Structure 1
Amino acid sequence: MTPRRSEGGSRFLYDSFDAAAARIEANERVAEERWAGLEYRLGQIETTLERLEKRIWVGVYGVAAFLMAQMAETVVQAAMR
């Protein structure tokens, strides 16, 4: 007859520990956390680039408005002479 395991005690006394599987699981968790961190940083970079693009367009429109105002002033002064 085979001896029966007692119901009490730790399961680690009877079950073998699979170090390779534990190492793979740990590496998968680390990879998931790194991926989540990269996605978060990419989101921040995209937001920053959008804000920068808006600022650049405001600058372009400001320069265009300044040049138009200068041209209008020149036309008005030429018409007064």
Structure 2
Amino acid sequence: MSGARRESGSRFLFDSFDAAHARIEANERVMQERWTALEFRLGQIDAALERLERRLWLGVYGVTAFLLAQLAEVLIRTAMG
């Protein structure tokens, strides 16, 4: 009789369920997703910093070019005048 009952019932009524193991697996999946999201965000921050660095160097070169042009203008005026 118990054999017929096992076949017709839910397996969860008879199989043991390890809640702690399931909770650990769920936490591991959540932590993996968080880690993936963190790596993605850090990649975006790194790319933004590289773009900012390029813009800063462009500004430095621009100011240097302007100052050299002003110096050249002063030298030309003094040489001609």
TM-score norm. by structure 1 comes to: 0.88
C-alpha separation in 2, matches of 1:75 and 1:8:
101
Counterpart of 1:10 in structure 2 is 10
Q: Which runs of 5+ in 1 are unaligned?
A: none
- Partner-residue secondary structure (3-state), 2:15: coil
- Structure 1 segments, 4+ long, off by >4 Å, are none
C-alpha separation in 1, matches of 2:49 and 2:56:
10
C-alpha separation in 1, matches of 2:14 and 2:41:
45
TM-score norm. by structure 2 comes to: 0.88
Counterpart of 1:75 in structure 2 is 75
- Between Structure 1 and Structure 2, the one with more helix by share is 2
Identity of aligned residues (%): 66
Q: How far off is 1:8 after superposition?
A: 3.9
Using CA pairs under 8 Å that are at least 6 residues apart, name the structure with larger relative contact order, 1 or 2: 2
Q: How far off is 1:7 after superposition?
A: 3.4
Counterpart of 1:59 in structure 2 is 59
Q: Which runs of 5+ in 2 are unaligned?
A: none
C-alpha separation in 2, matches of 1:24 and 1:32:
12
